[in-house]
Amino acid sequence: MKSHSTVVIIPTFNEAQNLENLLPQLLELELDILIVDDSSSDGSISVAERIDGGAGRISILSRPSKMGLGSAYIQGFRRSLGEGYESLIQMDADGSHRVTDLKRMMAVEANEPSQDLFIGARWIPGGRVENWSKHREILSRGANRYSKFVLGTQVNDMTAGFRIYRANLLRRMNLDGICSQGYSFQIEMTREALRVGAQIREVPITFIERTLGKSKMSSEIVLEAMVKVTQWGISRAFTRSR
């Protein structure tokens, strides 16, 4: 049941412990919550239902198997657009994205109506990461610089997953054409947003490495994303040369 004009979409796969911490904090804000769950076996859905307590502010979209991050967000976007939400937030379930940063991002959104997409960015002045290994930081910084250069964009944190989309931007985007599932999903969404002329604002955040549960990130996932970025870059260069 729609209670507010803003919804935060949270994909989950065995995130019960983290939801215990995150959901009560989110319910203090003026927004609704949509959990897109990929058949968790740890009681993630039960945790969300208990915390909601029948208030109807937390909705559950249950999927039959682990179908991937990208499709989770796309399904969440479609459902939320159909319900009339004006602002749609992407947020991790694992505690990496701070609710205090979300409050700031929402304040920036409220004060900048000309912007279409707000990205919680790590790699801009004021942004930072906590509890990352030097290897992971170099990997992420390098991937973002490479993506920025190859795709010819001014966006500094192409892979950031902490975002606020205005509904009118998502309606202009070709969501049917988004095929990425993992790390490259954020890059492909940014690329598509720029294609339709989106105005993008990066807001500095602090990204905190999860303390509960197991990270799903790996070097192989990043490498796969960079292969896709290279393909998109070649396509861009070919199109410009015609």
Asked if pLDDT for residue 172 goes beyond 90, the answer is yes
Pairing of strands 206-208, 87-90: unpaired
Domain around 37? 6-241
What's the CA dihedral at 72, 62, 211, 203 to 10 degrees?
Answer: 40
* 67 occurs within a structural domain: yes
Question: Is there a domain that residue 60 lies in?
Answer: yes
Q: What is the CATH number of the domain that holds 28?
A: 3.90.550.10
pLDDT of residue 181: 79
Residue at 38 is within a domain: yes
pLDDT band of 80, cuts 50, 70, 90: very high
Total domains in the fold of the chain: 1
The reply to whether 1 falls in a domain is: no
Least confident of 36-40, 66-70, 185-189, 221-225: 221-225
Torsion, Cα 41 35 121 201, to 10 degrees, reads 160
Has residue 173 been placed in a domain?
Answer: yes
Q: Please report whether residue 17 resides in a domain.
A: yes
184 within domain boundaries: yes
Using one digit for the tens of pLDDT, what is the confidence trace for 10-21? 999 999 999 999
